[in-house]
Every structure is written in structure tokens, then in C-alpha cells.
Amino acid sequence: MRPEDIIARAAAVLRENDMGGWTRASPTLYPHQWSWDSAFIAIGLAHLDTGRAAGEIRSLTEHQWENGKIPHIVFNPDAPPESYFPGPEHWASAANAPDAPTGPATTSGLCQPPVHALAALRILRIAEARGEGVAEARTFLGQIYPKLLAWHRYLATARDPEGSGLVTIYHPWESGTDNSPRWTPALERVEVGEIPDYERHDLGHVDPSERPTGYEYDRFIWLVEVIKETGCDDDVLYEECPFLAKDVLASAILVRANEALLEIAEVVDAPKVDWATLRAWIEQGRAGLEECWSPDLGLCTDYDLRAGEPLAARTIAGFAPLIAGTGREDHLRDLLRILDSRVFTGNPDLRWPLPPSTSPHERGFRPRSYWRGPVWPVMNWLLWWSLQRSDERKRAARLKDYSLTQLSDGRFGEYYEPFTGEALGSDDQSWTAAVALDWLAEDGSGEEPV
Ligand code: 9WN
């Protein structure tokens, strides 16, 4: 496929998944609105229509919880009950949680990594680069700013009562990298109680070898039961949730999101006290990530708060300091060395030198299984964006070029087998189409100066 054909197909995928003001994550497997998907989708949409991109974020934040949480799923009231599990009926009891929003649409009680402020700022920058819709984009930022500030405040307080600068999660779904070996030891420590009978609709859409196992799903569903039982109460979950972990990838994204929000604060002329708060959160986030450095792996590692020990695994999340654009010079050098090495993109058996979600050198590596090995275009985008910002332009360009080669099959797969390049999971995945649009944008917005 030529670049212009990729652009046309990607735009068609987003059109097809447009549910009228918000975008489903994919046509069959994921018929609802997912939080971090929407942020990436907005970045892609901005190249087609900045107003529609703003609408994507706006519609998501209409379902923000009273405590500031942006829910991980906003359920599509028109999706049939058998389309996704756990769906709105399953989460319905969480709708009675004191902080849950009122209104017809139900949400899940979890959250996902906070990419939203990055997307919101990109909408303005893209509008500026195109010379179109700038005033509207500024108005949008004015409206969205307090909501994003409340969201970040929730993460910095309820999800970090220790003031460590690191985001706590109660469920692997909150990390967005669900069955990654990052979480295996913590998940193995979870004792499953009584769970309702359930049917996995995902297995009707995708080959089971590409999805999490039954062992993992039982734990996922048990954790949902525990979380619902507490009314999604953060204080209680801190005491009782059998899975409680510090997530370095979400924390790195939060550092960048706080930087973006600081820029937005300037655009909307927010009170100076907010600027100081945002700066403090950025510093705290950087310091927290520094604490998670593993000299043995040359990567950053998550932390299991329940067991009181680091979760050592060679996964894409280990590049968190690079994503946050922070850390000691020697650590950043180590990260780049590991990225280029056989542990990640230098593995000679790879179809393209693109980072597998889990290193082929890791014990839990499975080349077809979801976050245990496949290459995820959206993660390539995040690394590409971070490399550019760290002035690693050559590496960034290489990552982008190979990613586009991968996507020239026109399937817009959710993830790809690292050795064969086969598209896996869902086809026509919205965020894959969105990042392709951003990579191929000719308005110069992707090359914004650091
Ligand atoms: C559970 C929608 C989402 C992504 C996640 C990805 C996957 C859901 C699932 O799909 O998770 O939230 O059912 O597997 O892991 O990152 O946001 O694309």
C-alpha cells in the first residue's frame, strides 16, 4: 500500500468506527469507548477534523466520576449484551458507587493510563499547523482544562497516597497491558474467591491463542468482583484489594501528561497555583520513576505493593523513563542500548526491528499472545513520540518507517506477530488507524520542536 492509500484506509476505519461523536475501539471485539484508546484516536482524528477530535475527548469526559476518575470504558447503550464481557450489566452495581456519574450510560469502575492531556494539546498544535480551527481548539482547551486537572489530581492523590509520584492500579486492565508478564507474579498471588459463571465473548471474535488465558480471566473477573464490592472506594481498595501495584508506564505517561497540562494551563491562563501544583507533580513523577530503576535489567520495573517487592520483567513498560523523558543520562543510555539489542529491536528473528511488547528473552514471552510478545503499533507510536522528544531522531525515524511498513498490509491490526508480521487480534482497530494518520500527516505537526 502507498502512503496515500494507508491514509485513505485509516480514515475509512475511523469513519466506520465513529458511533456519532465517539469512536468504538474496534468493530466487533470492542464495541464501546475505551479511555486511552480515545486519546490516541483523537490524535489521529485531529488530522481529519480538529473539531471532531475535540469531541472525542469531550464525550469521554462527560462520564468522568465525581472524584475526577476518567473511566476505562464508557459503555455503548446500543451494543448487544453478548458483544463484550464484562459489559454494562456486569458493572451496573458500580453505577451505585458514590462517585459514579449519573446519566444513562454506564461506565466501568476502573481507569487507564492518562494520555488525554497529550491528545488535547496535540489538537491545538495540529490546528495551528493547519491554520484551521485554532480559536475553537483554544475554546476546547478552556473547557477541558478543569476536567483534566481533576483527573490528574485523582491520580496524584487517591492513586498515590504515599506521594511517591507513581500511579497505583487495582487491576491489570488499568495498565492497558492486561496479560503482560509485568503482572504475572502479582496476579499469581491473587486467591480467587467465588466468581459468577461467565462467558467470554472475546473468544468468539479472536483465536484463543491471541487472548489472555482462562487462568488470567478468572483473576481479572475476581478482581472486578472485589472492586465492585467496595463501591470502587479507593481507601478501601488500598486496604483490601488483593492486587495493588505501582505502574511505571502509567506513571511515565502521567509525567508527560502533566507537562502537556502545564502548557494548556498557559494557553488558558489558568491560576498560577495550578502551575505550581503541576510542576510539583512532574517532579514527583520523575523522582518516583528514578526509584524503580533496575540495574540488573537496564530497565524500569513496576512494584507490587502487596508483596512489597519489584516486579522484574523485560517488557515495553521498562522504557518508562524514556517515555517520561526523564532520568539519569547513564540510565537513558542503558535504555537505548537495551532497545537496540537482541533483547528488543535487535533480535535477528524479528520480521521488522520493532519492539515486541515483551522481550523474546523473557520467560513469559508468547509471540501470539496479546501483551506477552506481539508488537503493538500504538506502543511504537508512544516510543517514537518519546524518542523524538529526546532528540533521538534517527531512531525515531526508523521506528516510524518500519511501523508504516508493518501497517502497509492495510489491516490495521490490534497487534502483530513479531517474527512473521502477521496481524493479530482485532482488524480495523481504531487506535492503530489513528497512529498511522499521525505518522503520515503532512502538516508538520508530528515534527514539532522539543
Ligand atoms: C480490557 C481496547 C482495549 C485497550 C487495552 C487492551 C484491551 C480490554 C480487553 O482492549 O483491553 O480493557 O477486553 O482485552 O488491552 O489496552 O484499551 O482497545
Q: Check whether 446 has a pLDDT greater than 70.
A: no
- Encode pLDDT of 114-142 as tens digits: 999 999 999 999 999 999 999 999 999 99
Lowest mean pLDDT among 93-97, 155-159, 174-178, 324-328: 93-97
Query: How close is the Cα of 308 to the center of ligand 1, in Å?
Result: 27
What's the pLDDT score for residue 147? 98
Residue 36 CA: nearest ligand 1 atom is 17
Q: What is the pLDDT of residue 445?
A: 65
In our burial notation (b when 16+ CB lie closer than 10 A, e otherwise), range 196-230 reads eeeebbbeebbeeebbbeeebbebbbbbbbbbbeb
Residue 105: per-residue pLDDT: 67
Give the confidence band of 450 by pLDDT, cuts at 50, 70, 90.
very low
In the prediction, which pLDDT does 92 show? 82
Q: Would you give the distance in Å from CA 45 to the centre of its chain?
A: 17
Mean pLDDT value across residues 315-337: 95
Give residue 103's pLDDT band: very low, low, confident or very high (50, 70, 90). Answer: confident
Query: Quick one: pLDDT at residue 101?
Result: 87
Statement: residue 447 has pLDDT above 60: no
Q: Which pLDDT tens digit goes with each residue over 257-289?
A: 999 999 999 999 999 999 999 999 999 999 999
Closest Cα to atom 7, ligand 1: which residue? 176
Q: Is the pLDDT of residue 375 over 60?
A: yes
**Ligand 1 site-directed mutation target among 70, 110, 173, most atoms within 8 Å of CB:** 173
pLDDT bracket for residue 354 (50, 70, 90): very high
Write out pLDDT tens, residues 173-198: 999 999 999 999 999 999 999 998 99
Residue among 30, 107, 174, 207 whose CB has most ligand 1 atoms within 8 A, to mutate:
30
Which ligand 1 atom is nearest residue 108's CA? 12
Cβ–Cβ under 8 Å, residues 84 and 46 = no
**Residue bearing the CA closest to ligand 1, atom 6:** 176
On average, the pLDDT of the chain sits at 95
Q: How far apart are CA 311 and CA 332, in angstroms?
A: 20
Contact criterion met (CB below 8 Å) for 134 and 124: yes
- Give the distance (Å) from ligand 1 centre to CA of residue 71: 13
What's the gap in Å between 25 CA and the centre of ligand 1? 9
Cis? peptide before 86, omega within 30° of 0? yes
Per residue, what are the HEC states of the chain? CCHHHHHHHHHHHHHHCECCCCECCCCCCCCCEEHHHHHHHHHHHCCCCHHHHHHHHHHHHCCCCCCCCCCCEECCCCCCHHHCCCCHHHHHHHHHCCCCCCCCCCECCCCCCCCHHHHHHHHHHHHHHHCCCHHHHHHHHHHHHHHHHHHHHHHHCCCCCCCCCCEEECCHHHHCCCCCCCCHHHHHCCCCCCCCCCCCHHHHCCCHHHCCCHHHHHHHHHHHHHHHHCCCCHHHHHHHCCCCEEEHHHHHHHHHHHHHHHHHHHHCCCCHHHHHHHHHHHHHHHHHHHHCEECCCCEECEEECCCCEEECCCEHHHHHHHHHCCCCHHHHHHHHHHHHCCCCCCCCCCCCCCCCCECCCCCCCCCCCHHHCCECHHHHHHHHHHHHHCCCHHHHHHHHHHHHHHHCCCCCCCEECCCCCCEECCCCCHHHHHHHHHHHCCCCHHHCCC
> What is the best residue among 23, 37, 178, 182 to mutate for testing ligand 1's pocket, by most ligand atoms within 8 Å of CB?
178
pTM, entire model: 0.97
Is pLDDT above 70 for 449?
no
pLDDT of residue 94: 73
178 pocket-lining for ligand 1 (C-beta < 6 Å): yes
List the residue whose alpha carbon is closest to atom 12 of ligand 1. Answer: 173
Look up 414 and say whether it is catalytic: yes
Lowest mean pLDDT among 30-39, 94-103, 310-319: 94-103
User: Which percentage of the chain shows pLDDT scores above 70?
Assistant: 98
In this prediction, residue 104 carries a pLDDT of: 66
Q: What is the structure's pLDDT at 227?
A: 96
CA–CA distance, 75 with 54 (Å, rounded to integer): 19
pLDDT in tens, 48-74: 999 999 999 999 999 999 999 999 999
Q: Smallest Cα–Cα separation from 207: which of 423, 445, 437?
A: 423
Is 448 a residue whose pLDDT tops 70? no
Residues 6+ apart with CB under 8 A from 394: none
